[in-house]
Every structure is written in structure tokens, then in C-alpha cells.
A and B are shown apart, each in its own frame.
Chain A
């Protein structure tokens, strides 16, 4: 290995963030963030979803401008107004969602936009091979990107930034989509990069991985830096507690409405993928009448797939799903809805609403087979409108009337409408996926109350959420999902932050 020819030797600070703050309408994303990153190290930034990690990295890469604070790169203060500025400063970012063109080769993807550096022919090819060898990336320039597995694509993204001369790499949740073997390969690459004197900033929520590869770990919670520690000095549990906070919200103290009757039974649900990683791996659970089962877990661990599997929106699912003793595994989505499944989708704009249709037509959506939406083959506009007015009233949807276009409503009101609609179908099971995401605080409280009412009325509720307040406040039982498997069951009244955090992030129990 050659010794680094530049002056950034190990342990010298290459990136210094001081007092970074950023607000969005109604929400504080970052507040007084202070981080020092040293050259030749792997520096991890950990925190929950919504803690503000990604916003921070977008600021460092010039995609967003901070409202306050300073950024220093290699000792000089910089103003990063665009990714081009960041690249010039030697910062390169590998996004969580890769920016690669499938039908082009590695060479073409890497040289795109940077053709002047080494051309697009043999010069570029040589340079790519050089970088690939230097850091052990094992990349062949003339392969079509679509033929590459996820791990290889990530390495191409890394090579892209190295090709443009980056000395500071930012990786946003790089292991989110990798299998363990690919994770090891990636870490080996990172160690090579580190040894060459580059600085690697690594955003993650997987504490076990972070501890194994990072030299420094900064914890961010609710938009601000909590602490920076070295892995040697801290256990995973302590780290989890830093991430999650030392106190969890207290659960509701209402009397339990859980009965013995099983309304939803899921047995051995699995969803394999071509690449060997199972999106759902032998998932089994039951939900009783009057019970809210909360599924906790960091995003991307199979929650979306679980919901789609139960709704019948995913082909290739194996296993059995029983709704009140009726096997619905082979039914279409429409039949499942008719059988009594209500669905509050995670992405209401894509799956829950027709944005350019009036509210009363949205009332019909998903319920086109029953009154009040329908009378025989005809849509019953009068009854639908009347029922929509009822929902507006009952669920406090702020709108001039049932003829307003869904698009014109705020997120919270849209969600309240959806909640009202799904409850109106008298479902047996209610699936609520991130029901208060992107919803203002007032609407959030209202929706929570509705879910509690539903529970009291004898529904079974499957609640997916990344919001611990929500999970603990609403659930009777919490299961944690990690990499497609259910890895732990907890009682909301007794679980501790470390337990929950560890289970969610896979931190192993230390003696």
C-alpha cells in the first residue's frame, strides 16, 4: 500500500461542524449539531428514524443549506450551495437510494458528468481499475449495472465519488439493503479507505455493525448531538439508550380490552427474494379481538412487506393468513377487504387517496362493493356524500365539504378521512401503517383516540410504526421486526428503552 501523498494524515480533523441548525415548517430537523471528523477514520452517526441524520448529511453534501452554524473542511470554512461545491471540497456522498442507470455499464455510470477527467475510453477504464485495486472494490468496468447485486452497486457508487477525487465519503445507511456477507465486504473496503487516509462518515442505526467498524460514534437524537463516544468505551445497550432516550413514554392506563378470540392468525409468512435475502422470514403471530399489536422496528426490515402480504398486494408470499377462522391466503385484495380488512396505508398519496377526486369519491375508494357507496352496480352518490359528511363530522376533518378535492386538504385531515373511511367498513382487522406520519400534532392525538375506540369496540389492530410514543401509547403488545423476522415480544408497560432499542437494532446482549 502506498502512503498517502497528501497532508491529511490520520487524526487530523478534516470536517468540523459547529452549531448546525435547520428547520422545516413545523419541525426542527437539526439543532446545534457539533461534530469533528478526523482523517483516516470511520466516523459513525447513529440515531433513530427522524432524528435528523439524513438532513445533516444533505447539508454536508450541499443539497440543503443550514439555517445556522458553520462547516469547515480541511480547516477552511466552506459554503456548500450545491453538490458541485461539495465535490469540489472533496466531499462525496453515496445516497441510500442509488443513483445508477441500470442499462449503462459501470464505466458509463462512473464517467457520466465527469468525462473531462479521464475521457470515456481506455483512460477512464484504467483509472477505474486503479481505484478498484487500490481499495479492493473488485469492480469490472464493462458490466451492465443491472447485472450487479446490491453490494456491487454500492461499491460502484463509492467508486463514483472516489473517481471524482473525494477524500471525505458520506455513506447514508449503507447496510440497510445488504446481507451479512456483503456487509463484511463493505467494512473491509471501508478499512482500506481509512488506511489510505480518507475519512468515512457512516450513517446508520444498526448498532452492532457500527460498533464493529467505527472509530468514533456520534449519537443524534431529536436533531441534536447527544454525545460522541469511542466503541471501545461503550456497550450496545448504552448506545441504544443514548439513541432512544432514558425514558420511554408511559403506556395508557385504560383497562385492557383484549379477549381470547383470535381474529388474525398469521402462520409462517415468508417472502423470499432472488438474491437470497428474505424480505419476510417465517413470520407468525396472532391478534385477538380488542387487541392492538404494535410492530416496532427500524424502517426497511420487512414492515411494508408484511402489510402488503396481508393485504394481498404482493405476489410470491407463502404461508397462511386466517381472518377469524377464515383462510384468506388465496383471496384477492378486494375479497380480503370485503372479508373485513381495513387498511390505513403508509403512503396515503400513493395508496390511500385519489388526490384529484372529491372527498365523497375517496370515501368510495376501497369500499366499492358495499353500501353506502354502492347500490347494486351503481355508485350511490347521495349516500356516499351523506356518509362522507358523517365522517367529516365524527372525525373532525377540516374541510369546506365533501366535494372538496382530496389534494386541497392538509396531510392530517387527509389521514383523518382515511381513518374514518376504513373504520366505517366495520372491519374485523384494522391495519394501520405509520398512521400519524406527516400529520400535525392535533390530528395525531385524534387518530390515536380513534384507534383506542376501535380497540374498545372489538377490533383487532395491527399497528406498524417507527414512533415509539405511538407504539407504547397504543399497543397492548409489541413485537419487534428485524430483517424480516420477529425477534422479540415485549409488554409496553414494562419494556425498557435499552431492550427495545437493542432488539430494534440487533445489538447483541453483552455479558
Chain B
């Protein structure tokens, strides 16, 4: 029949709406590497994109990204999860305890499990009892810090290598390496060819001693994307965060999906903590998380509540954190120039889209940063440590009004408000 034919034609011309397609990510990555190569050339700071730096960036990025992923699951279902930090802390303890007694991979499970316990408390408080999401999150953070410190004293003192605030050394989760490739890339990197060496460095970081937990994290990211955007389950979950009232009228059990989402959120945050304990370092220590739960939230906002954006944001934060630690002052100093140039570009773009005031502010900032760059040689350690947080503030200030959070995020939902 003519109608089915026309439908087939229409189908062919209609493509599913792509979020940021993979190509853009690669292009973006290449662009960043190019910029860094340029900066290295211009400023002489050599460590901006070495494989060592990039490898450390990867290690720094994963916990932030996993925490942010946890935040994404919860907020997509409409529950704000400020308690990510606390759930992460629970995860570090879980990895420390179970990792020591039963081996590193049980530690991974333990981290996720304890994180999920934190998620359970949050879910009960917000979904069942209707507590304000922020208050519940803050409470969980307080509880988590107290609980892990208490448990650490009770369970780690007296163990060899352990103490009141740390666990004994833990086993390794294992890593993979492609030896010959790593070698070859290392040679390319050593040649110092503009841009090519940087790309080699990046690839080398991926194939040398790549922890299995990094692979796990990557799998989780892909899984999240498919689950949330390609299945009926994910559609219903997201509808709870966008319009729970509409979802209810269509027969979706909003409470159930919120619950599942928050539990998953806790488990992911716990995994992030586990990574810190098992991969980024070799044991549990009090205060290991250092606010990464909050930075994960910021990365999630930066990424507009999407996995790809979240990944990019986490990469940004991980990179700035790494720079601050290695060679510190030189690298961040060089970065200032890059930021000044970027801000200038942003100012031009804003001017052209008629945001005069914002363009003025950006120009002012760009000039200010350029002046700072030229007047000092090295950025003091304290300021480099601030970079993730200042970046978060800047991003939020500039983009808050254009970002799209799930429409019903943070809403205290009660059944029966429809009709």
C-alpha cells in the first residue's frame, strides 16, 4: 500500500536524535591535545601532555567520573544527591575492609555495597519519608564520616600496617598492558614531534598498566548510556525526573524507579571510593575522598546531566588536579595562558551573540588572567589546588541558565498529585 511505502521512506530519513555523537568526542579530544601541544611549544612547560601526566589524569578522572555517574542516575530520576561524598567515603571503607580480608575484587564489591547502603538511607529518607533531598544528603555525609572513622578505629587498629585511620596495604586489582605497543608509542613520544607525540602519549597512557577498574568504569559508562537512553526501563526512570506527574498518569510507579536510581547512585559512588582506595592508592585512609563527591556533582552539572559531557567535565577536573600535583606551578602557570586565550575566544563569541555584558566580563577576566600569567613565574601550590573548585564556580556561573537539569529534579514528589 502506498501508505506503508511512504512510512518506510519517512523512517529512512528520520534518525534517532543523537546526543553528542562519538565523532565529536574524538574531535574534541584532538582539539584539546592540539591546544596543549601549542602551549608546550610556546611556554616550554614540558609536562602538560606527557604520558605520565595523562596517565595520572586518567587515575584522577575515574573517581570523579564514577561519582558523577552516580549523581546522574539519581538526578535523572529526580533526586538530588548531595550525599555522594558520604557514599564515596563509605565505599573507601568498604574497599579497605573487604579488600583486606577477602581480596581486592571482593573489595570492589564491598565498596559498591557500602555505597549502596548509603544510597538506601537516602532513598528511604527522600522517597519514603519525603525528607528534603539536600538535608538528607548532608545528613548522610555527616553519618558516613563518623561511621567510617569509627569503624576504621574498631577494625584496623592492631592489623599489620594498619592503624586508627588507615587500613593495611591492599592487594592490586590487576591491570592490562599491551607491551610492544606501549614501547613503540613511547618511542614516538620521545621524538617530541609537535602534536604527534602528544597523541602518542595519550594512546600510551591507555595501553600501559591500565587498571582493570578503569576498564570497569568505562563499561559502566557505556552500560549507563544504553540502559537510560535505549531501554524502556531507562525511559521510565528519566520520566520520573522530568515529569513524575505525567509518568504517574501513564502508569509508571514513580517511587520504585526513584528508589532503584538512588540505590544505583550510591553503589556507583561507593565504587568511586573503592577506586580511590584500591587503585589511586594502596590502602584506605581517613579523608581520602577530599571532596571528590562534590566535584563529581559539578562534573555532572558541567556535562548537562549526560554521560559524555560528564566524562569531559571529569577529565577537565582530573587534569587540573593532576597538574596541580605534578610539577605544580609550572604547568598550571602555562595553563593560565591557554585559559586567557580561551576566555578571549568566548568573549568574542558572546559579543557576536549579543551578550554584551557577559562579553565584557569575559574580556575583563581574560585580560586579568593574562596579566597574572605575565607577572608571575609559577602559580603557588595553594592556588593550583583551588583549580577544580574555581572552575566549577565559573562553569556554573556562566552556564547555569543554559544548562538543562531534569525538570523535576529535587522535587519532593508525593503520589496522587496528578489529575
A and B touch in the complex (CB under 8 A): yes
**Are A99 and B235 within 8 A (Cβ)?**
no
Minimum CB–CB distance from B197 to chain A (whole Å) comes to: 42
Q: Given the complex, which residues of B lie within 8 Å of A155, measured CB to CB? A: none
User: Does B11 lie within 8 Å of A103, measured CB to CB?
Assistant: no
Does chain B have a CB within 8 A of A408? no
Report the separation of the CA atoms of residues A129 and B4 in the bound assembly, to the nearest whole angstrom. 10
1/0 contact string of B243-270 vs chain A (CB within 8 Å): 1011101111000000000000000000
Report if A112-B11 is in contact (Cβ < 8 Å); known contacts: A130-B3, A142-B16.
no
Given the known interface contacts A99-B249, A113-B236, the answer about A120 and B14 at a Cβ–Cβ threshold of 8 Å is: no
- Asked if A184 is at the interface of the complex by the 8 Å CB criterion, the answer is no
Contact across chains for B246 and A101 when beta carbons are under 8 A apart: yes
Given contacts A122-B11, A140-B14, contact A113 B250 (CB under 8 A): yes
- Chain B proximity of A136: nearest CB distance (Å): 12
Q: How far is B8's CA from A122's CA once the two chains are assembled, in angstroms?
A: 11
Contact (Cβ within 8 A) B7 A108: no
Whether the pair B15, A112 counts as a contact (CB closer than 8 A) is: no
Task: Verify if A261 is at the interface (C-beta below 8 Å from B).
Answer: no
Pair B407/A63 contact, Cβ less than 8 Å: no
Q: Would you give the shortest CB distance from A417 to chain B, in whole angstroms?
A: 28
* Interface size of B as a range: 20 to 34
B285 interface residue (CB < 8 Å to A): no
Contacts of B242 in A (CB 8 A): 101-104
Q: Is the CB of A28 closer than 8 A to any CB of chain B?
A: no
Bound together, the chains give a CA A277 to CA B242 distance in angstroms of: 27
Residue B10 at the A interface, CB < 8 A? yes
Across the interface, which residues of B come within 8 angstroms of A133, CB to CB?
3, 6-7, 10
Interface string of B230-247 (1 = CB under 8 A from A): 111001101100110111
Pick the contact of B14 from A58, A113, A119, A142 — CB < 8 Å? A142
The answer to whether A120 and B235 touch across the interface, beta carbons within 8 angstroms, is yes
Contact of A129 among B7, B247, B407 (CB under 8 A): B7
What is the distance, in angstroms, from A264's C-beta to the closest C-beta of chain B? 37
**Interface range on chain A (Cβ under 8 Å from partner):** 20 to 34
B-chain residues with CB within 8 Å of residue A83 when the two chains form the complex = 249
Let me know if B414 is at the binding interface, CB within 8 A: no
Distance in Å: Cβ of A34 to nearest Cβ of chain B: 25
Residues 322-349 of A, flagged 1 when their CB comes within 8 A of B and 0 if not, give 0000000000000000000000000000
Q: Does A441 contact B (CB under 8 A)?
A: no
Residues 91-127 (chain A) with a chain B CB within 8 angstroms: 99-105, 108-109, 111-116, 119-122, 125-126
Q: With A and B bound together, what is the CA distance between A480 and B407 in angstroms?
A: 37
* Interface members, chain B 114-131 (any A CB < 8 Å): none
Q: Distance in Å from the Cβ of A62 to the closest Cβ of chain B?
A: 10
Whether a CB of chain B sits under 8 angstroms from the CB of A84 is: yes
Tell me the smallest distance from the CB of A313 to a CB of chain B, in Å: 22
Contact for A102 among B231, B245, B251, B407, CB less than 8 A:
B407
Q: Are A115 and B407 in contact (CB-based, < 8 A)? A: no
Cα–Cα distance between A118 and B230 once the two chains are bound (Å): 14
A58 & B419 in contact (Cβ 8 Å cutoff)? yes
Q: Which residues of B contact A114 (CB under 8 A)?
A: 250
| Proximity bits, A43-60, B CB within 8 Å = 1, else 0 | 000000000000000100
Is the beta-carbon distance between A115 and B17 smaller than 8 angstroms? Answer: no
Shortest CB–CB separation between residue B417 and chain A, in angstroms? 12
Complex CA gap A264/B72 in Å reads 53
Contact of A141 with B by CB under 8 A:
yes
Partner of A103, one of B15, B249, B404: B404
| A372 CB to nearest chain B CB (Å) | 36
Closest CB in chain B relative to A93 CB, distance in Å: 10
CB distance from A81 to the nearest CB of B (A): 14
Flag if B14 contacts A125 (CB, 8 Å).
yes
A-B interface, 7 closest residue pairs, ranked by CB to CB distance from nearest: A113-B250, A115-B232, A101-B242, A101-B243, A99-B246, A142-B17, A113-B251
User: Given A103-B404, A111-B235, A112-B246, 15 more contacts at CB 8 Å?
Assistant: A100-B246, A102-B242, A104-B235, A104-B242, A112-B236, A112-B250, A113-B250, A115-B232, A115-B236, A125-B11, A129-B11, A130-B3, A130-B7, A133-B6, A142-B16
Q: List 17 A-B contacts (CB under 8 A).
A: A99-B245, A99-B249, A100-B246, A101-B407, A102-B243, A103-B404, A104-B242, A108-B239, A109-B246, A112-B246, A125-B11, A126-B11, A129-B7, A130-B3, A130-B7, A133-B6, A142-B14
